[in-house]
Amino acid sequence: MRILIVEDDLTTQQFLQRALSEQGYQVDAASDGQEGLFLALEQDYQLIVLDRMLPKLDGLTVLSTLRNANKHLPVLILSALDSVDERVKGLREGGDDYLVKPFALAELLVRIEILLQRQRGQTEPSLNKLHVADLSMDLLARRVWRGQQEILLQPKEFKLLRYLMEHAGQVVTRTLLFEAVWNYDFDPQTNVIDVHVARLRKKVELDGHSALLETVRGVGYRMVEK
C-alpha cells in the first residue's frame, strides 16, 4: 500500500512517515500543495493524508483539483482548523475523513485502515465483536474467551488485547501500544509494556491452544492467526 503525506510541518511529516512505514506502508511526502498535487496526479497512491493549510497551494484546492481530475482515492484531511464549518467544508470538497490536530496516532492509523478497507470494498468489522483464531472478545460485555473457556482480564490487559486483536497480522510498536493503552508518550526506559504482555500471554495462551502473540525483536508485537 502506497500513501502520500502532504504536510508542511516537517516534524509532523517525519513522525507520520516513520509511523506509517512501521506499519508496512510505502510512504512518500510533499511539503507544499503544489508538489503534493503533482505527485498525486502523476503517481499511483492508495490514500493521501492531506494538510489543509499548505504553502503554494492550499489543501482544499489540492483536493478539489484531484476530484475534478477523477482521482477518487481516499483522502484523510489533517488540520488544526477544528470548527464544524471547516470540517464540513473539507468533507464537502471531497475529503473522506477529517482529523483535527493535535491527533492521537492510534486513531489516525485506525481511520487510515478503515478508509483503505472501504477502498478495497471490504465490509467493516463488527462493531462489538473481535475474533482472532479461537480467541474472541465481546467489546460491549467486556468479556474474552479462548475457545469455550472464559479469560478474566484486568482493565489494562483488556485494552491491550483489544488493540492487538484490532491490528491482528500487523506489527504493533511499543510506541503505539503506549499511546493507545496508557495515553502518554513512550518512555524507552520502561518495561511496563513487556510486563503486561507477559501477563497477557499467560492468560491467553492456554495449554492445548496455539501461540497467538509474537515478539518482534526491537520493535514490538504481532498477533497472528494460526
Over residues 8-54, the pLDDT tens digits come to 999 999 999 988 888 778 899 999 999 999 999 999 899 999 999 99
3-state secondary structure of 49: strand
Are 222 and 197 in contact by the 8 Å Cβ rule? The answer is: no
The tens digit of pLDDT for each residue in 86-116 reads 998 998 888 999 999 999 888 898 899 888 8
Pairing between strand 143-146 and 149-151?
antiparallel
Model confidence, pTM: 0.59
From start to end of 72-175, where are the E strands? 75-79, 97-100, 129-132, 135-138, 143-146, 149-151, 171-173
